Amino acid sequence: MKEERISLVTGSSRGIGRAIALRLADVTSGVAVHYKENEAAAQEVVRLIEGKGKLARAFRADLTDEDASKGLIKSIESHFGRLDILVNNFGPIIDKPWQELTTADWELMYRSVFLSAFWCISGALPGMRERRWGRIINIGYNRVEQLVAFSKITSYAVAKTALLILTRSVAAAEVKSGITVNMVSPGLIEGGMTPARGKISPEYFGKAADVAEAVSFLASDKASHISGTNLIVAGAWKL
């Protein structure tokens, strides 16, 4: 991977996003750290990246808003001069029985998980096309392709399924532009929102760093002929 490339990881002040940002700092010249509320946590990630001798800056944006999402991309391009790698990690989980979901819940999940990615992709594509190189990686979840029923994360599962369809649609459209578009789908990750640990064999739990390594590979030149795929990082969980 060329050192001059700049990456953005949305929702990178903590958890999986934080691990991805720190890993991409090892292989690019700079990382844009995005946060919605916790500036202190985002600035800590910035300090860790700068400690690696790389460029970093924290950017605040509410990605449930179209103007804020597209404005984030413009701010990053203005500050760094380019954006080469976009990782769409932002988005909460609503843990609630589907019968209790409100219209506001559905709208929040759709805007957070799906539309935020759509808006960021739309903003990033022109610069990537101009340079004829780009990597877009969307974060899914491990059962996104199985279309199974979920009683408590229905809205999350629906939004992530839509994101997978978007991933493959953009990948097909950009096949001649030098831009690859993929999804990485984590399973049970230590420190994440998972079922009670005592009920699940410890071998099924991965680390945020495992997801970060998968993203780093798909962002590299080694993955130049991989596009439209969904890389599941879940061990053998729920096969």
Model-level pTM?
0.94
Query: Is position 39 within any domain?
Result: yes
Span 88-101, mean pLDDT? 87
Taking alpha carbons only, the member of 139, 116, 138, 120 closest to residue 128 is 120
Angle at 229 between CA 237 and CA 71, to 5 degrees: 105
Question: By three-state DSSP, how is residue 157 classified?
Answer: helix
Q: What is the mean pLDDT of the chain?
A: 93
Mean pLDDT score, 77-101: 92
Looking at the annotation, which residues are catalytic? Answer: 156
Q: Is residue 238 part of a domain?
A: no
| Chain length of the chain | 239
In the predicted model, is pLDDT for residue 84 greater than 80? Answer: yes
Q: Which domain holds residue 103?
A: 6-233
Q: Is 150 left (phi over 0), alpha (psi -120 to 50) or beta?
A: beta
Core vs surface per residue 89-107: b (16+ CB within 10 A) or e: bbbebbebebeeeeeeebe
SS3 of residue 99 by DSSP? helix
In the chain, pLDDT over 90 holds for what percent of residues? 79
Predicted local confidence at residue 152, as pLDDT: 84
The answer to the question of residue 170 being in a domain is: yes
Is 150 a member of any domain?
yes
Q: Does residue 22 sit within a domain?
A: yes
Where is average pLDDT lowest: 35-39, 71-75, 93-97, 226-230?
93-97
State yes or no: pLDDT of 23 exceeds 90. yes
Which tens digit of pLDDT belongs to each residue from 134-173? Answer: 999 999 999 888 888 777 888 899 999 999 999 999 999 9
Question: What is the tally of structural domains in the chain?
Answer: 1
**Per-residue pLDDT band at 198 (split at 50, 70, 90):** low
Asked if residue 1 belongs to a domain, the reply is: no
- Give the whole-angstrom CA distance, residue 203 versus residue 218: 25
Instruction: Please report, for the domain that includes residue 157, its CATH number.
Output: 3.40.50.720
**Within a domain: residue 144?**
yes
Give the whole-angstrom CA distance, residue 64 versus residue 87: 16
83 phi, psi to nearest 5 deg = -145, 120
Is 154 contained in some domain? yes
Query: What's the whole-number mean pLDDT along residues 182-202?
Result: 78
pLDDT of residue 230: 97
